[in-house]
Amino acid sequence: MNVLVTGANGQLGQEFKNNITKSDFEFYFANENELDITNKNDILKYVNKRGINFILNCAAYTDVNESELNKELALNVNSYAVKNLVEICEEKRLKMIHFSTDYVYNSESLDPIKEDRNVNPINYYGYSKREGEKFIENSSSESIIIRTSWLYSNYKNNFVKTIINKGIDNEKLYVVNDQFGCPTYAKDLVNVIFHIIDSGIKPNYKIYNFSNEGFTNWYDFAKKIFELKKINSLIMPVNSENYKTIAKRPKYLVTDKSRIKDIFNVNIRNWEEALKEFIFNYK
Ligand SMILES: NC(=O)c1ccc[n+]([C@@H]2O[C@H](COP(=O)([O-])OP(=O)(O)OC[C@H]3O[C@@H](n4cnc5c(N)ncnc54)[C@H](OP(=O)(O)O)[C@@H]3O)[C@@H](O)[C@H]2O)c1
């Protein structure tokens, strides 16, 4: 199997690169300069030349605030480019795993959200990702969508790295305590994706939530990072009303993972256990 990973310089793309020894497949990593997914012809050429039969679409426009200002770009990358990919999957009978976000949901409670409930994006990033999902939902290709959240790894910028760096620099930190969600250790996501490729995409459903189990809020998450990293600098809770951002953020994004666990027979560890391993190995 020849697997193309798009957006290879992104956080998730790099996590795949770091773990390919765990898989028997041949991987082709293409960053944005090597393959711009908004250009269908370029994707076709890339796929034909290398005999690609599986795509992991890690490419996306992920800046949530900037998406409010650059709507056209967000929609091009997060939606129309997904249409390009899925059309090629249909035409050439390829399979794809596409990554989406918990920002397609909005909820008023901590009740775990199932894949077909509460879909109602409240910011443009979420909207653009949801529009992309629809092309896969409506296609005949054997492709699936993994909705993930609060992703962290050794790569690029993410909340865990930011908090550690600010803590080490002894910066006084204000972190929101009224937005709840589910952290995802990118390595755990990558392991589950390898398992799904190995076991074969099942026709039952097209959309699956994935994150670590349990939930937290950003302030408690940051406190846990400090505790595990043994950082003593000051951290203060603040509510969303006093911490305005360009893009609105939903307050409750606790996702239900029973579908992916049942269909693919996977276990998911708790976010605190995963974070502990990450921090233990973090240089
Ligand atoms: N990070 C999170 O917390 C989070 C949460 C929920 C869901 N997700 C989803 O998970 C997936 C992976 O996220 P991530 O954190 O790895 O994002 P990321 O670090 O921003 O990586 C995305 C990559 O896509 C590249 N890209 C942008 N436009 C492109 C184009 N037209 N053609 C090809 N590549 C392009 C970006 O290039 P540049 O580096 O040049 O910009 C970047 O390297 C995304 O679908 C995202 O929506 C992420």
Pairing relation of β-strands 180-181 and 144-148?
Answer: unpaired
For 94-109, write each residue's pLDDT tens digit.
Answer: 999 999 999 999 999 9
Residue 203 has pLDDT above 90, yes or no: no
Residue 171 has what pLDDT? 85
Residue 69 has what pLDDT? 98
Residue 283 has pLDDT above 90, yes or no: no
Residue 48 has what pLDDT? 98
> Ligand 1: which of 4, 38, 58 to mutate, judged by most atoms within 8 Å of the beta carbon?
58
CA of 256 to the centre of ligand 1 (A): 23
Residue located nearest, by CA, to atom 2 of ligand 1: 151
For 120-140, write each residue's pLDDT tens digit.
Answer: 999 999 999 999 999 999 999
Percentage above 70 pLDDT, the chain? 100
**2-157+183-213+255-269: in CATH 3.90.1570.10:** no
Residue 93 has pLDDT above 90, yes or no: yes
Q: Where exactly are the structural domains of the chain? A: 2-157+183-213+255-269
- Of ligand 1's listed atoms, the one at least distance from the Cα of 36 is 32
Which residues' Cβ are closer than 6 Å to ligand 1?
Answer: 6-7, 9-12, 32, 36-38, 58-62, 77, 81, 99, 101, 129, 148-151, 156
For 237-277, write each residue's pLDDT tens digit.
Answer: 999 988 889 999 999 999 999 999 999 999 999 999 999 99
CA nearest neighbour of 167 among 12, 282, 14: 282
When pLDDT is averaged across residues 110-114 and rounded to a whole number, the result is: 97
> Ligand 1: which of 4, 11, 153, 159 to mutate, judged by most atoms within 8 Å of the beta carbon?
11
* pLDDT band for position 202 (cuts 50, 70, 90): confident
Tell me the C-alpha distance between 210 and 182, whole Å: 9
Residue 125 annotated to the active site: yes
Residues 119, 123, 127: CA angle, nearest 5 degrees: 55
Distance from chain centroid for Cα 82: 15
For 136-179, write each residue's pLDDT tens digit.
Answer: 999 999 999 999 999 999 999 999 999 999 999 888 899 999 99
Residue 22 has pLDDT above 80, yes or no: no
Kindly provide the b/e burial profile for residues 214-229, where b requires at least 16 CB atoms within 10 angstroms of the residue's own CB.
ebbbbbebbbbbbebb
Q: Is the pTM of this model over 0.75?
A: yes
Catalytic residue chosen out of the listed positions 61, 105, 124, 125: 125
SS3 content of the chain, % helix, strand, coil (to 5): 45, 20, 35
CA distances 60 to 56, 113, 124, 161, 211, Å, are 12, 23, 13, 20, 18
Pairing relation of β-strands 26-30 and 2-6?
Answer: parallel
Residue 21 has what pLDDT? 85
Percentage above 90 pLDDT, the chain? 94
Residue 101 has what pLDDT? 98
CA of 151 to the centre of ligand 1 (A): 11
